Every structure is written in structure tokens, then in C-alpha cells.
Structure 1
Amino acid sequence: MTVVAGGAAAARPRLIRAINEQVLLDHIRRSGPLSRTELANLSGLSKPTVSAALGSIERAGLVHATGQRTGSPGPAAILYEVRPEAGFVLGLDVGREFLRGAVTDLAGTVRSRLSVHTKAGDAMARVQELADLARTLLAEAGISSAQLIQTVIGSPGVYDPGLDTLTLTGRIGWDSPAVLAALRQEFGATLMIENDVDAAALAERVHGHGRGVESFAFVSVGTGIGMGLVLDGKLRHGSHGVAGEIGYLPFAEGSGSDARDARKRGSFDASASAAAVVRAGRRAGLRGASTAEKVFAAAARGDSVAAAVVAEEALLVAKAVCTVITVVDPDLIVLGGGIGQAPGFLEAVVDQLRRLAPVLPEVEVSVLGVDTVVAGCLAAGLDQAWQHLAGHRMTS
């Protein structure tokens, strides 16, 4: 027993040093460049403690001196910032038509970015295309796979960490356990899989309307339907990873292809996705209703049939958003996706919410573009990478 107690006592100073280092890393990462005095003020640590911890993480190659702050009384203060080359993160977005990706350093600077049209005929071919894209991105960034600290793939579907399964991938068709095994074989131990809409919500929190907002819902309506939910500043996945799968809200399934789609991807998805808008336009006799974009364009030109289809779509989306409001009461709703970002759609949804919802939070349209999922994957990867580095400091 004495040996155990002694070992614990000996380990305590090392743990405290590692915690101090993590605190400084977090401040430098989020607010740098910073001086020793500024770090002491932000962290509440003494200046000698800051100097010791800063020297340790500088020797480890995680931060470096980047210049001096002048203009105030006394000697110029040396500033410290993250050393970008200490590691890299790879973010990949898997879509039905496009594969997108980017590589960033630990300072958050994108070193390479690429989008390619997928020609894959099956799931395994798509895995290979994704691996090829990753190799191209690494080559353009001038780094090797060994320098990657984290790889994040944004994909439709739900990853359940308890069961280690990827399901509900819809049109991508990645539900087979063999796909997950193939992805791990290609990308190794650094792989993390994030739902694509959840990744978009992370991007919104870092780069969009969600900055500084503690609770918001990112609702994506387009080819598919989903939601990313941020509560108390954290993305919420739920116990089984299905938090935000609002495509399965039990709206009317209809008949024929609507019912078949509902069984595959959920009732709300079947009722309000882009394919559903096209079907509604055709049923209403709208000519040229080959895409949802054309239906919305016809409504914008004053076509009364198309306008009725768009109005019904706005009502469906408002009902889903109203459900979210009554369950979690977020500060903000952000609409994304091809339909969610369509001109005039925000106003139509808000008009319905005024009638349906008990309260009306702020509602905005996302201003982020086609690289939103990649940006979210990079944000998630950077957080994970810094956690890995901090954990390594605690155990080394």
C-alpha cells in the first residue's frame, strides 16, 4: 500500500504540470499570440508557473516565439503562438456526387483544398476514391500521412460508438460493416467519422451565425434532411448517435414512391427533401419540374402552382423547426442546404413559425458555401488533435 501511495504522490506533480501546459495551450490556440504576462492573467497561474509550462511546450515543438509586443512601458514582451507544423488535420466530405477535402495545420491554416466529381459505382469504389483524394491533398500540402494527427470524414449516416457501426447512410450506401473496416484500413487509427450535417453545424459555430451562440440548431434541407444540434456550446450526438435525424420525424408518408422513400430515409425526408418537392410539382401539373431549384425558380417568377408547392414545403419545414423549438428551445435556428438557402424560403418558414411556434427564436440562413462540411470536419479534427496532444502530455 505504501508503494502505491508513494507512486500516486510522485505522479501528482507531473499531472499538475501537464494540466498547466494544457491550460496554456488552450489559451494560445484560441487567443494567441500571447505574452507570458497575458497568459498569467488569462490562466490565473503565477508567472514562474507560466514560464515553466511554456518552456516545456515550447521544447516539445507545440508553440514558438513569434515576435514582440511593443508600445507599452517596460521591456518588449515576447509573444507565443501555436507552431503550425506541429501536426496536421485532414477533413473529407463524402457526397453522392462530389468528394471534397482539405488539409489544415494546427494553427488552422488550410494547406490544400480539392473537390472532385465521384464516379464510384459502389461503396468500396467510393472508399478508394476518397483514399486517392486524401493522397492528392497530402501531396499538394507537402506532407506525409505520418504527420497527420487526425482524419475526419463527414458522411451521411449515424456512427454508434457503442456498437461501432455506421448506419442510416441513405443514398451513399455505406451501411455494410465492410465499409467501416475498409475506411480504417485506408486511414488508420487517426480516423473519426462525423455526420455531415453535424459537421456543418460545427462549421456554423466556428465560421457562421453560430459564433458565440450557446444553443442553436442547424437544419439542412436539400437532397437529404438533417439537423446538427449545439447545446451549451457543444455538439450533441445523443446516446446512439441519432440526435438530429429529423428526417425520421413521423410526418405523413403518402403513397407510392413517397411511402417507399419514407421506409428508407424517414417520413419527413420523404415529404420535404428535394426529390419530394419535384414529385409535388409534377403531381400539381407544373411543367419543367425536373429539380427543386427549377420549382423554386418558377415560384419566384410568379407561377402560382409552383408557389403553392413552395408554400407547402415551407409549412413542412416550419413544423419540423417548431418541434425542435418546443423540445430544446434554442437561441437560434440556421437553415442550410439547397432548399434551406433558397431565396425567399427563410421568410416563408418564419411566417409559418409565427403561427405555429410558442416562441420565435432568431432564424437565419447559412452564408457558408459548398465546403461547409469540410470546414466542420477540420474544426472537429483540430479539437480532437489538441485533445490528443494534451492527453499525450499528461501520460508522457
Structure 2
Amino acid sequence: MTVVAGGAAAARPQLIREINEKVLLDHIRRSGPISRTELAGLTGLSKPTVSAALGSLERTGLVHVTGQRTGVPGPAANLYEVRPEAGFVLGLDVGREYLRGGIADLAGTVRSRLSVRTKAVDAMARIQELVDLTATLAAEVGIEVTQLTQTVLGSPGVYDPRLDALTLTGRLSGWDSPATLAALRERFGPSLMIENDVDAAAIAERAHGHGRDVDSFAFVSVGTGIGMGLVLDGKLRHGSHGVAGEIGYLPFTEGSGSDPRDARKRGGFDASASAAAVVRAARRAGVRGASTAEKVFAAAVRGDALAAAVVAEEALLVAKAVCTVITVVDPDLIVLGGGIGQAPGFLEAVTKQLHQLAPVMPEVKASVLGTETVVAGCLAAGLDRAWQTLVGNSAG
């Protein structure tokens, strides 16, 4: 027992140092350039403790002195800032038609960004395309792939630990095979973290969009697929089984574009209100040139009455789903995203229906983050994980 107690006592100062360094790094990331005196005031730590922690962070290359504060009483004070090149984070977005990626340095500056149309016909080919995309991004930054500190992959689906595989992966053929996850781990290494793509979009909204100053909001994505990212008390919620936000499985099957086969595979709401359902509804209604949901919405904007009726039906379906979220979670804000969620006039149409359906009306806004939302969320999540890892290593 004496050995255990001694080991715990020896580990305690190291743990305290690590906590202090994490606290300082968080303030430097958010408020830098910043002086030792300012850090002591913000954290409540003593000046000697701050000096010791900063010295450790400097030695490990996580922060550096970027200048001095002058023009105030007393001697000039060194200003500390995150050293951007201390590490790099890779964010990848896996879609059925496009693969998107970006690399950011530890200061959060995006150094490279790229979107490519996928030609893959199976999961292994798609993984190889992701590897090739990563190599191209790294070359643009001027680094080796081995210099990536953290990789975050935004993907449809949720992780099932019983199968050690992704499930509910929608329209990505073969993506739910255990061999796919094994291959991803092999190619991207131990720093790989996989996040549901819509949850990643919600992280981006939290970091850069309408959710920045909101404690609770739901990001509802309506496009090729349908999903929701839920932030409560400032934290992304996955649920006990990882399926929080899989609203595509809500049992709404009354839309004129609903397909029973899709409902069995991907859920009733997805089969009734996704982009494919909008196209089916438009064709059944006789809308000309209804090859994509975007063209259906464009026709409605031009005054096509048949297309407008399809859009109105879509708005009602989405409003019903959002009303369900409101009555269960009661968030401060609803953010609509995805190709349909951000389509011209759709926000107003959904809001009009919600006024008739919902017991209370939170704010409802359309996302302004664009097609790079998932990558932005992956980078934000990756930066948080990277800093945790780097500080732990420096304290060790």
C-alpha cells in the first residue's frame, strides 16, 4: 500500500502542472497576445506559477513570445501567443458526391482547403480518395502528412461499439462494413476521430455561426439526407446510443414524394422530405425539368405554381419535424442547414408553418456557413482534441 500511496503523491504535482498549463493555454488561445500579469489576473494563479507554466509551454514549442506591451506604467511586458506551427489539424467531409477537406494550424488558421467530386464506386476506393486528398492538402501547406496532430472525419452514420462499425450511413454504399472502419484506422492512424457529419456542422455553428452565443440550439440539415445536431448547455449531445439527432427516422411518411423502400432503409422522414423526395413529388405533380431539388425550388421562385405547392408541402413536413424537436427539447434556436434548409424562401415558409404548429417559437435562422460547414466543424473539434493531447504530452 505504501508504494501506491507514494506513486499517487508523486503524480499529484505533475497533474497540477498539467491543469495549470491547460488553463493558461485556453486563455492564450482565446485572448492572446497576452502578458504574464494579465494571465495571472485572469486565472487567479500566482505569478511564479504562471511563469513556470509558461516556461514549460515555451520549451515544448506550444507558445512563444510575439512582442512586448509598451505604453503602460512599469517595464515592458512580454506577450505570449500560440505558436501556430506546433501542430496541424485535418478535417475531412465524406459525402456521396463530394469529398471536402481542410488543414488548420494550432492557431485555427485554415492553411489549405479543397473540394473534389468523388469517382469512387465502393468504400475502399472512397478511402483511397480521402488519402489522396489529404496528401494534396498537406503539400499545399508545405508539410508532411506525418506532421498532422489530429484528424477528424465527418461522416454519415453513428458508431456502434458492438459491431465496431459505423451504422445508419445512408446512401454511402459499403460504408457500414467493419472493414471500412478498420481501413480508415489503418490509413489515418491513431489520431483519427470520426464525427457524425451533421453533428460536425452543429459544432461549426457553435464555433462560427448563429450558435456562438446560444446555450441550446438544434441544427437541422435538410438536403441529400436529413439529420440534426443538438447542442444543450453548450455541449454537443450524442445520446446513449449515438443516435440523438437522427430525425430522418421520425415516422413521417405522408409526403407525396415519400418512397416506402427509402423509408425502410433510411427512415420515414428522410423518405418523405429529403432532396430525392422533393424531386419525386415534383415529377408526380408535373413540374417540368424537375431533375434536382434545386431546380424545383428555382421554379417555385420563378412563379411555377406546381413547384410552389411542392415547396409548401416540404416546408410543412420540415416544420412538423422541427415542432417535434421544440416540444421535446425546447431549444433557444433552430438553425436550418443543407441544400434545402438554406434554399431561398424556405426559412420563411417553415417559420410560417411553425407559427401554426408549435406551442412556443424559438428563433429560426438559416445557416450562412455554406458547403464547408462540416469541414469547419471537424477542424474545430480537432483543434480542441489536439490541444488536449499536446498539453498532456508536454506535462508528461
TM-score by shorter chain over 0.5: yes
1:172 is paired with a residue whose SS is coil
1:370 is paired with a residue whose SS is helix
**One-letter code of the match for 1:27?**
H
Q: Deviations over 1:3-45 (max 9, x none)?
A: 3222222221221111111110111112211111111111111
Q: State, as a whole percentage, how many aligned pairs show the same letter.
A: 84
**One-letter code of the match for 2:282?**
G
Q: Is contact 1:219–1:335 with CA below 8 Å preserved after alignment? A: yes
Q: Deviations over 1:239-297 (max 9, x none)?
A: 21111110000112679970001111110000001111111111112222111111111
The question of 1:386 aligning with 2:390 is answered no
Distance 1:253 1:124, change over 3 A: farther
Greater shift, 245-254 or 93-102, is seen at 245-254
1:48-197 equivalences under 5 Å are 48-161=48-161, 163-173=163-173, 174-197=175-198
**One-letter code of the match for 2:71?**
G
The question of 1:26 aligning with 2:44 is answered no
**One-letter code of the match for 2:267?**
G
1:171 is paired with a residue whose SS is coil
Q: CA deviation at 1:64?
A: 0.4
Equivalent position of 1:293 in the other structure: 294
Q: Is contact 1:162–1:240 with CA below 8 Å preserved after alignment? A: no
**One-letter code of the match for 1:158?**
V
Q: Is contact 2:258–2:273 with CA below 8 Å preserved after alignment? A: no
Equivalent position of 2:227 in the other structure: 226
Q: Is contact 1:156–1:168 with CA below 8 Å preserved after alignment? A: yes
**Structure 1: how far apart are the matches of 2:262 and 2:306?**
24
**Structure 2: how far apart are the matches of 1:61 and 1:124?**
37
**One-letter code of the match for 1:154?**
G
**Structure 2: how far apart are the matches of 1:140 and 1:326?**
47
1:143 is paired with a residue whose SS is coil
Distance 1:255 1:206, change over 3 A: closer
Equivalent position of 1:213 in the other structure: 214
The question of 1:318 aligning with 2:319 is answered yes
Q: Deviations over 1:304-333 (max 9, x none)?
A: 211111111000000000111111111111
**Structure 2: how far apart are the matches of 1:161 and 1:40?**
43
Q: Is contact 1:253–1:262 with CA below 8 Å preserved after alignment? A: no
Greater shift, 184-193 or 142-151, is seen at 142-151
Q: Is contact 2:88–2:147 with CA below 8 Å preserved after alignment? A: yes
**One-letter code of the match for 2:216?**
S
1:308-347 equivalences under 5 Å are 308-347=309-348
1:149 is paired with a residue whose SS is strand
**One-letter code of the match for 1:7?**
G
2:20 is paired with a residue whose SS is helix
Distance 1:69 1:281, change over 3 A: same
Equivalent position of 2:9 in the other structure: 9
Q: CA deviation at 1:80?
A: 0.5
Q: CA deviation at 1:390?
A: 2.7
Distance 1:256 1:22, change over 3 A: closer
**Structure 2: how far apart are the matches of 1:213 and 1:183?**
34
TM-score norm. by structure 2 comes to: 0.97
**Structure 2: how far apart are the matches of 1:45 and 1:342?**
50
**One-letter code of the match for 1:131?**
V
Q: Is contact 2:66–2:81 with CA below 8 Å preserved after alignment? A: yes
**Structure 1: how far apart are the matches of 2:372 and 2:10?**
48
Distance 1:254 1:312, change over 3 A: closer
Q: CA deviation at 1:181?
A: 0.8
TM-score norm. by structure 1 comes to: 0.97
Q: Deviations over 1:327-361 (max 9, x none)?
A: 11111110011110011110110111111111100
**Structure 2: how far apart are the matches of 1:184 and 1:2?**
41
**One-letter code of the match for 1:352?**
Q
Distance 1:67 1:230, change over 3 A: same
Q: CA deviation at 1:56?
A: 1.0
**One-letter code of the match for 2:159?**
Y
Greater shift, 29-38 or 308-317, is seen at 29-38
Count residues with an aligned counterpart.
Answer: 395
Residue ranges of structure 2 left out of the alignment (5+ in a row): none
The question of 1:375 aligning with 2:388 is answered no
**Structure 1: how far apart are the matches of 2:66 and 2:216?**
35
**Structure 2: how far apart are the matches of 1:204 and 1:241?**
20
Q: Is contact 1:103–1:113 with CA below 8 Å preserved after alignment? A: yes
Equivalent position of 1:355 in the other structure: 356
Q: CA deviation at 1:160?
A: 3.1
Greater shift, 127-136 or 5-14, is seen at 5-14
**Structure 2: how far apart are the matches of 1:96 and 1:77?**
53
Residue ranges of structure 1 left out of the alignment (5+ in a row): none
**One-letter code of the match for 2:37?**
T
Q: CA deviation at 1:198?
A: 0.8
Q: Deviations over 1:51-86 (max 9, x none)?
A: 111111111111000111222222222110111111
**Structure 2: how far apart are the matches of 1:52 and 1:195?**
40
The question of 1:40 aligning with 2:40 is answered yes
1:152 is paired with a residue whose SS is strand
